[in-house]
Amino acid sequence: MQLLIPSPSQSTISAGPLTIHFYALGILIGIAVAIWLGRVRYAKVGGNADDVSEVAIWAVPFGIIGGRIYHVITSPEKYFGNGANPIDALRIWQGGLGIWGAISLGAFGAYLYCRTHKTSLTYSQLLDCLAPGVVLAQAIGRVGNYFNQELFGRPTSLPWGLEIDAPNRPTGYETFETFHPTFLYELIWCLLVAYLLIKLPGSIKKLVTRKGDIFALYVLAYTLGRSWIETLRIDESNLILGLRLNVWVSLIVIVASSAYLVKSKNRGNTKDQAVAS
């Protein structure tokens, strides 16, 4: 059967003495898109678009550091196990950013900025404006996983199976050639979530009623898809009661974000109105 998704032949490109990693390039493009869309949405609801760019100077480094810390904590054997090199934990360009660490510390960095600087809109409004761009950035970043031949799922014979080179196949799966392209599933899901975040709040007012609801809706919607995709993955991960750690984190986030939205709806649509598209 002809493969629809062949393995990429390389994950880097050289320009003189400079080596460009496609994974890192995807992250940078995603950040640029998130900032651009955030500026557009922030200005649309009356804010100064420059606030978004200035917040990014704080939020982006916090997010990258948080994403890497989460990844290393959840996959310690890769960096501190037998034969591992702890220095590899610093090589972010080779892949490995945990989304919940990135979102948590990135949002914290934005919060610190809003607490120490005067902004034209509130912190909650800022998060609402940023949410669609952030999930678009996640989609773009997943392209880097394709070039790194990582974060794929169980073996599959489906026509869109992803060919993985033998050196990149996990232990126990050496004889299989094609796997679920879970990075692609997540990319598509992220694009859908971004579209819904932009279109739904303006047309279904009851869905979001207060500042911060759009960001909470992003967290909920993304995690619903991620929790299913996570069950397909076979890369090394810590297990708790037979489930991957990221599945448990997803379940906790789903419950927390759902509770927040329910509580927000029960409080009603007061002066603390949500940012609508």
Amino acid letter, 13: I
* Pairwise CA distance, residues 73 & 79, whole Å: 10
Q: What is the pLDDT of residues 69-105, one digit of tens each?
A: 888 887 777 777 777 778 877 777 666 778 889 999 9
Structural domain includes residue 12: no
**Residue 13 bridge partners (DSSP):** 20
**Average per-residue pLDDT for the chain:** 86
Structural domain includes residue 7: no
Structural domain includes residue 154: yes
Number of domains present in the structure of the chain? 1
Range of the domain at 181: 19-267
Q: Which pLDDT value is given to residue 186?
A: 95
Structural domain includes residue 227: yes
* 261 Cβ neighbours under 8 A, 6+ residues apart: 213, 216, 217, 220
Q: How are the residues of the chain apportioned to helix, strand and coil, as percentages rounded to the nearest 5?
A: 60, 10, 30
Q: Which pLDDT value is given to residue 271?
A: 47
Whole-model pTM: value is 0.87
Residue by residue, DSSP assigns 216-258 as HHHHHHHHHHHHHHHTTB-S---EETTEEHHHHHHHHHHHHHH
Q: Which pLDDT value is given to residue 98?
A: 84
Statement: residue 204 has pLDDT above 60: no
Structural domain includes residue 276: no
Which residue in the block uniquely carries the two structure tokens 């890497």? 68
Structural domain includes residue 275: no
Structural domain includes residue 78: yes
Q: Which pLDDT value is given to residue 208?
A: 61
Q: Which structure tokens are listed for 145?
A: 């996983």
Structural domain includes residue 255: yes
DSSP 10: -
Statement: residue 145 has pLDDT above 60: yes
